[in-house]
Amino acid sequence: MMDALSGRRLSVFAFHNRFMIPELQTARLILRPLELSDAEQVQELFPHWEVVRYLATRVPWPYPPDGALTYYRDDALPAIERGDEWHWTLRLKTAPERIIGCIALIKGNKDNRGFWLGREWQGQGFMSEASEAANEYWFETLGMPLLRAGKAAANEASRRISQKNGMRLVHTEERDYICGRLPTEVWEITAEEWRAPRGRG
């Protein structure tokens, strides 16, 4: 796999978790498969307004003290086991034991990718890098034909990530977020569109 930012090959590491999701690397990041033990770090990092305000209302707010543990145990890990979702924690290569965010891929006809990043690491291009690796896994390993992602129109940082990924805006609608009901942009990219500028297909 190629890292679009550096032109170097991405490394696919040993399959650490029992549901056979690989660990991935980019130029600066390790994408490590989600484990239940990650909940403790995530519980400290996740429930901040700058992180959650543009997330869907299925995320409870105020966030409960056991929110991360409950979500991983009851939702994310069972979905991974069913083969419906793929979740990774994001870690800097320079500090691999510290979680800085998460990214997930999701089967279905609505949103296929979701992510969040801790406040300290926002605005530094980390999520663009992680999403490129996740997109490659979606198209090249899973063989999916289309990736779709909806986001609040006000979420300019997320829009820029979609633009950098080569996605296109296909329609707008209204959705409910933790911060309220907002206009929403739905972005898409096909496997063929994703491969074309990378010299594939």
* Residue 186 within any structural domain of the chain: no
**pLDDT(3) > 50:** no
Quick one: CA dihedral 83, 11, 129, 99, positive or negative?
A: positive
* Residue 169 within any structural domain of the chain: no
CATH of the domain at 89: 3.40.630.30
pLDDT for res 20 = 85
Write down the pTM of the prediction.
0.90
* Residue 97 within any structural domain of the chain: yes
* Residue 74 within any structural domain of the chain: yes
pLDDT for res 201 = 64
**pLDDT(2) > 60:** no
pLDDT for res 198 = 83
Please list, residue by residue across 177-197, b when 16 or more beta carbons sit within 10 angstroms of its beta carbon and e when fewer do.
Answer: bbbeebebbbbbbebebbbee
* Residue 165 within any structural domain of the chain: no
pLDDT for res 199 = 78
**173 or 4: which carries more pLDDT confidence?**
173
| Polymer length of the chain | 201
Per-residue pLDDT reduced to its tens digit, 74-120? 999 999 999 999 999 999 999 999 999 999 999 999 999 999 999 99
Q: If you average pLDDT over residues 156-175, what whole number do you get?
A: 97
Binned at pLDDT 50, 70 and 90, residue 13 comes out as very low
Q: If you average pLDDT over residues 189-194, what whole number do you get?
A: 97
* Residue 168 within any structural domain of the chain: no
> Which residues have a Cβ under 8 Å from the Cβ of 117 and sit 6 or more positions away?
51, 90, 100, 101, 126, 127
Share of the chain above pLDDT 90, in %: 88
Per-residue pLDDT reduced to its tens digit, 16-52? 444 589 999 999 999 999 999 999 999 999 999 999 9
* Residue 45 within any structural domain of the chain: yes
For the chain, how many structural domains are there in total? Answer: 1
How far is Cα 179 from Cα 34, in angstroms, rounded to an integer?
A: 27
* Residue 166 within any structural domain of the chain: no
Structural domain including 77 reads 24-145
